[in-house]
Amino acid sequence: MADVTFLFPPERGKIAERIFGCNYSYGFMQHNWFVLSALSQVKANGYSVELIDCNKEKKGLNDINSDIALFWSVFLSRSSDIAAGRQLHDKIKIYMGSDPSYDPTPYLFDEKCLVVRGEPEHTLSKVLAETDYNNITTNSVSWRTKNELKHNKTAGIIDDLDSLSSVERRLYKKMMDYNNPKFANLPSTTILGSRGCVHRCYYCVPNSLSYAREQEYRKWTGGKPPVRFRSVKSIIEELETIRKLGFKSVLCLDDMFLWKKDRVAEIFDSLSSLSLEIGLLGRPDYLLDKDLVKLLAAGGVKYVNLGVESFNQMILDDIKKDMKTGAITKSIQNLRKHGIKPEINLLFGASPLETEKGMWDSFFKAQNLAKDSIMHLSLCTPFPGTEFYEIARKKGWIISGDYTPIDPSFETIISFPHLSNTKMQSIIRKMWAQHYLNPSFIKEQVKEIKSLKSLKVKVRGLKGILHRL
């Protein structure tokens, strides 16, 4: 019998994507590195650990083989995770992730519920060692007694990321069946080399670990947590392990991978020998250095997921992006020159300056720069904990009065006097269809098919998108 079971509970219809936590899975799932990190730390402390992905393994709640169930919850998974927890009424339920870190209250529905706030690795191992769950002493834990909710003070952030145990991907029973259709070479996995971001974009929801970390830090200090880095040595060692396990591609989940040129150069100097395809997230203004982009290309970077948001400078200024549109264009050209695909993220409705004409202008500019590449189109959601959420509530832009879970790739709860939510939804659906059905994009995707497996993954991803149009 396992001491603890981590559970991705069954979800009907749309499955919440829990790594970034702000949209639904489009026909593919990736390794949740944050879950693996927490479970690996628990296992290193002597506990027997099991991971059950009900949606992937076709299992149900009756398959849990322990008295303690763990969940990684995001805003879009709240209802399914709480519903699963209520069915497990006889077990201890421990919730982690961005949504319970923001507000533990909904997750503390009975006296057998706990919330581990912020970064979970050290906190989870400590709370599991508690002997009296009616009087918990571990910091960064919230729980319910008969009469009230309890919220212990914060444990702070983890300063020494190298102190954490190496992640064990074999905890996934179908380890090799999690793939990213953006890569030509499969199977793929994920890695995290840093935590946090220094920038101030007022709508931003970073990856779900960074968001949990940030929410916990802000509540106790009022500020944004500093960025913390793993050592280059630890990152290279994990990538070498990934290659030995048989993976051929890796997505780096860092909110912004490109902080320090010397550090990035040291990492990618070691990557060329591993022959891994790499995907990154980054700001365009960090990719103006041609030598840096050349290093990325030599190290195996296939694509960079760019936080573009808009080609309208007034909107970029209003949402505190602190970036010039000229930097966007130059960075995309720079990436393409060195054979790296720019994945453009456009975010509409983050500012009251948005107009129908402006939406199409940004879309066509992105198309002209990279019509054969992946493009992610979203309608800005006022996620709780963001500055945009507070502004939108105050201004009355949220049609429901408060946040409700939606799919931001196609829906919005924001409506401006001059630009309604229904109008924005109509426009973005046309954009999705126009981009993903254009011959240049389809031709490029076909060129990347190197196996029957990659064909299936790409078809599944495209079907997931088209099914929602």
Domains annotated on the chain, with CATH: 4-151 (no CATH), 174-466 (3.80.30.20)
Question: What share of the chain in percent tops pLDDT 70?
Answer: 97
Question: For residue 171, with 0-12 CB atoms within 10 Å meaning exposed, 13-18 middle and 19 or more buried, which class applies?
Answer: middle
pLDDT score, position 459: 72
303 vs 466, higher pLDDT: 303
pLDDT at residue 27 tops 70: no
- 166 band by pLDDT with thresholds 50, 70 and 90: very high
Average of pLDDT values for 102-106?
97
Q: What is the pLDDT of residues 114-153, one digit of tens each?
A: 999 999 999 999 999 998 988 999 999 999 998 899 999 9
pLDDT at residue 321 tops 90: yes
pLDDT at residue 193 tops 60: yes
Question: What share of the chain in percent tops pLDDT 90?
Answer: 81
- Give me the amino acid identity at 421: N
pLDDT at residue 1 tops 60: no
Task: Please state, as a whole number, how many other Cβ atoms lie within 10 Å of the Cβ of residue 39.
Answer: 27
pLDDT score, position 74: 96
- 299 band by pLDDT with thresholds 50, 70 and 90: very high
Judge whether 440 and 426 are in contact, CB under 8 Å. Answer: no
Q: What is the pLDDT of residues 364-391, one digit of tens each?
A: 999 999 888 888 999 999 999 999 999 9
